[in-house]
Amino acid sequence: MKRDFLSLADLSAEKVWGLLNLAISLKKERQEKGSNRPLLAGRTLAMVFQKPSLRTRVSFQLAMMHLGGQALYLSPAEIKLGERESIPDVARVLSRYVDAIMARVYAHDDLLTLAKWAAVPVINGLSDYNHPCQGLADLLTIYEKLGRLQGVKLAYVGDGNNVLHSLIFGASKVGMHLVAATPAGYEPRPDVVKQARIFAQGTGALIEVIRDPHKAVRGADVIYTDTWTSMGQEAEAEERRRIFPPYQVNAKLVAEAKPEVGVMHCLPAHRGEEITDEVADGPHSWLFDQAENRLHAQKAILVDLFEG
């Protein structure tokens, strides 16, 4: 039976830790030896994009290259998933050509349809529901920086979006304390929080959703933020710029957390909105270590799907 990588909610705590350890091993191997073993020699990944990307495209393409495989980029104009051709047909055609499909889409239902009809593994490169590849890379970054995940307090400040959903699921699997501070009406989905709290019963994690960003960051080991307006929400941009300024991650807010707090952002950043230059480029910033770890986390996802 084929396995997909669609949400961190689908993984056991043991599987999450297994992927993190595999990512660490693959990263160390390349750093020490200058290359990775060709674990994916002869394998091909189709990369289907509805949304543009920097990190997702480059990290997946290089991950396949470093591991001896190949990646094929299919742009939004080439595929027009669900428009030029039905999603079930795209899934069945690509399944005859490639060994796995990574898709970066708008609607999560499109991803689920792709996975349903594909005969090969499907990886969620981003959907409006969640972003599990980013979530795994974030856990990897925190673990590298702090040497632990259990009991780490992560304060998320901003929009309750797809990135937050994956952080909530990830935190619930590894025993973290996640506090999300969002404006009224911009909370994470209640079903995500409910499901994560069920997972948390087995790991000691704590998941909270509050309004006050200052309360959220008190005692935080990590502060995380994301853009106030995601792709596909452009019509809401002006309204969001009016509502979200109290949730900006700036030097004043960072000073309210632990002195050694790390600051994370999945990028691209709208500097001067959700995060200031002073913080993004300052001593607390983990932004670019985090971006690098997309490569290593995705190597682990690919190796696990092909070889696991």
List strand residue ranges (DSSP E) for 76-201, in order: 100-104, 122-126, 153-157, 177-181
Torsion of CA 71, 126, 142, 176, to 10 degrees: -140
Residue 242 in tokens: 């009016």
Which helix (H) or strand (E) element contains residue 13?
helix 13-33
User: Active-site residues: which are they?
Assistant: 104, 131, 134, 226, 266, 294
Give the separation between CA 177 and CA 166, rounded to whole angstroms: 14
User: Helix (H, G, I), strand (E, B), or coil: what is residue 71?
Assistant: strand
23 contacts 293 by C-beta, under 8 angstroms: yes
68: Cα separation from own chain's centroid: 24
Residue 253 in tokens: 């807010």
